[in-house]
């Protein structure tokens, strides 16, 4: 049986603060320093977490991520995606980008990764929550998901796990909407810049993750739009129906973790 490569399942790298990464590193860190997060930054993230804990919602994102080619040259890869969430166990991600189009379906029992251009799909049995599924798949593929914190059952807490300091830098305007520009530090060497709407929703409008300790200090950039908390997705939206001629392939894990 053939395998689905990481390129074919780029939907995962597109999600991939340093994240669900944070949620493991913070738990196992020995004697982590006491966080020094300003009151206004903490309150803004808490409000974001409250909004993103909604039972169902959707949003769109455009991402730009650094990668290194075979010659060691840092390059960038872009993706655009639509994400539909229905807690606790419904997730649909539809993504297109420089390396093709990919879809992820999760119905609470099975996660399916479908490569549109090659008409191939891989399945994995994961009976858990959205957060549990992402952690399981992350472990299998050894990739990180910079947007995964926003999909956990407690987004505000997940985002701040591993963070040792944070502050509000200023207020700016994105697409006519006032937003708070926040800066957080997550050792070792990760900087998280997060822009949240300056209102009761406090939804993300932009995220930049910079990896200061890695060669060339690569970054991950995401621009968010079209937040919709009035969606009512049906069970069918999270069920994968193989198109005519589609072939099932084994999900290929990586020996070394995918680089940011």
Quick one: pLDDT at residue 205? 98
Q: Between 4 and 47, where is the model more confident?
A: 47
> pLDDT for 6-49, tens place per residue?
333 445 555 654 343 333 443 334 455 667 999 999 999 999 99
Residue 245 has pLDDT above 80, yes or no: yes
**Where residue 123 falls among pLDDT bands split at 50, 70, 90?**
very high
Q: What are the structural domain ranges in the chain?
A: 3-245
Query: DSSP letters along 185-229, please?
Result: EETTTEEEEEEEESSSS--EEEEEEEETTSTT--EEEEEEEEEES
Distance CA 237, CA 233 (A): 6
Q: What is the CATH number of domain 3-245?
A: 2.50.20.10
Quick one: pLDDT at residue 114? 94
Quick one: pLDDT at residue 27? 37
Distance CA 256, CA 260 (A): 12
Quick one: pLDDT at residue 30? 45
Distance CA 111, CA 238 (A): 9
Instruction: Give the largest CA-CA distance in the chain.
Output: 55
Q: Between 118 and 257, where is the model more confident?
A: 118
Q: Between 3 and 142, where is the model more confident?
A: 142
Cut 0.75: pTM above it:
yes
Quick one: pLDDT at residue 56? 98
Quick one: pLDDT at residue 116? 95
> pLDDT for 171-227, tens place per residue?
999 999 999 999 999 999 999 999 999 999 999 999 999 999 888 888 899 999 999
Quick one: pLDDT at residue 144? 67
């Amino acid at each position: 049986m053939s395998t689905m490569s990481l390129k074919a399942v780029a939907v995962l790298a597109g999600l991939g603060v340093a994240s669900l990464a944070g949620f493991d590193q913070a738990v196992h860190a020995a004697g982590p320093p006491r966080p020094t997060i300003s009151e206004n930054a903490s309150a803004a993230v808490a409000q974001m977490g409250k909004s993103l804990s909604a039972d169902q919602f959707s949003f769109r994102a455009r991402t730009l991520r650094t990668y290194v080619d075979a010659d060691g040259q840092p390059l960038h890869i872009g993706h655009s995606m639509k994400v539909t969430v229905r807690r606790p166990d419904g997730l649909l991600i539809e993504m297109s980008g420089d390396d093709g189009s990919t879809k992820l379906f999760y119905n609470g029992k099975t996660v399916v990764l479908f490569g549109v251009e090659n008409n191939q799909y891989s399945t994995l049995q994961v009976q858990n929550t959205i957060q549990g599924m992402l952690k399981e798949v992350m472990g299998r593929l050894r990739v990180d998901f910079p947007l995964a914190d926003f999909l956990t059952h407690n987004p505000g807490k997940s985002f701040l796990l591993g963070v040792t300091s944070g502050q509000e830098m200023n207020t700016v305007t994105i697409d006519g909407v006032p937003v708070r520009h926040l800066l957080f530090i997550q050792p070792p060497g990760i900087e998280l810049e997060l822009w949240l709407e300056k209102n009761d929703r406090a939804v993300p409008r932009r995220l930049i993750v910079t990896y200061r300790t890695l060669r060339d200090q690569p970054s991950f950039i995401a621009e968010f739009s079209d937040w919709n908390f009035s969606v009512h997705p049906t069970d069918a939206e999270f069920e994968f129906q193989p198109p005519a001629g589609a072939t099932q392939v084994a999900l290929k894990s990586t020996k070394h973790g995918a680089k940011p």
